[in-house]
Amino acid sequence: MARPQRIVLVRHGESEGNADDTVYEREPDHALRLTETGQRQAREAGVRLRELFGDEQVSAYVSPYRRTHETFAAFELDQERVRAREEPRLREQDWGNWQDRDDVKLQKAYRDAYGHFFYRFAQGESGADVYDRVGAFLESLYRSFEAPDHPPNVLLVTHGLTMRLFCMRWFHWSVAEFESLSNPCNAEVRILQLGEDGRYSLDRQFERWRVPEPYGITG
């Protein structure tokens, strides 16, 4: 089994929805583009990624949203060294279709009170639903490691919540631990690095906004 030396997760750059949430009333979430700021953020992340990967091969998986495709393109990676594919299971949490701004604000308030993992948007998904499809993607990813020539780098271009849930699934974090962490900023990078002990570690923790509530199973 050729386990990659690193698994790199990147959130998309700033999108039109990040800059102006009224756009969700006119445009589908999946069709939103990067802003000029988002393009700059993605290019800056690309500089770091090109330095990180060097001359090594990369297996890349990109969420099917326009803003993640645009983010990946802005990285300007050497296409001869990158095997890229679209991966729908890495998409954003579904909130529904065209969204009423006031209704979304209300549902987000409910989610904050109820819990981000368990709360399901009326026409969309819960965090638990995203966790399940991330788990299904991980099963496919593990199988890809069986190839003896698997690249030493895996790159996932995705969304903030999906990044946290990927790490929750990989590191077996509790729901309470997940709930205590904030999403990364736009175009932020997290790296799962393979150590000499055969275990992966996260290069930088997600920002914690509260202490996890100590209940239930802890280990």
For the whole model, what pTM was predicted?
0.94
Give the per-residue pLDDT at 123. 87
Q: How far apart are CA 48 and CA 31, in angstroms?
A: 27
- The pLDDT tens digits of the residues spanning 55-67 come to 999 999 999 999 9
- Residue 97: pLDDT band by 50, 70, 90 thresholds? confident
For residue 83, the SS3 value is strand
* Res. 50: pLDDT tops 70: yes
Contact of 38 with 13, CB cutoff 8 Å:
yes
The per-residue pLDDT for 101 is 82
Q: What is the pLDDT of residue 211?
A: 79
pLDDT score recorded for residue 214 = 67
pLDDT greater than 70 at residue 217: no
Q: Kindly list the distances between the CA atom of residue 80 and the CA atoms of 4, 20, 60, 115, 129, in Å, as whole numbers in the listed order.
A: 18, 37, 12, 43, 35
Interval 140-195: pLDDT, tens: 999 999 999 999 999 999 999 999 999 999 999 999 999 999 999 999 999 999 99
Task: Specify the higher pLDDT residue, 96 or 55.
Answer: 55
Catalytic residue among 16, 87, 92, 177: 92
Query: What's residue 172's pLDDT?
Result: 96
CA 115 – CA 154 distance, rounded (Å): 31
pLDDT band for position 215 (50/70/90)? low
pLDDT at position 104 = 81
Position 2 pLDDT exceeds 90: no
Among 12, 69, 116, 159, the one annotated catalytic? 12
- Residue ranges of domains in the chain, CATH in brackets: 6-202 (3.40.50.1240)
Residue type, 78: D
- Round to whole Å and give the CA distance between 124 and 74: 30
Q: Is 92 a catalytic residue?
A: yes
12 is catalytic: yes
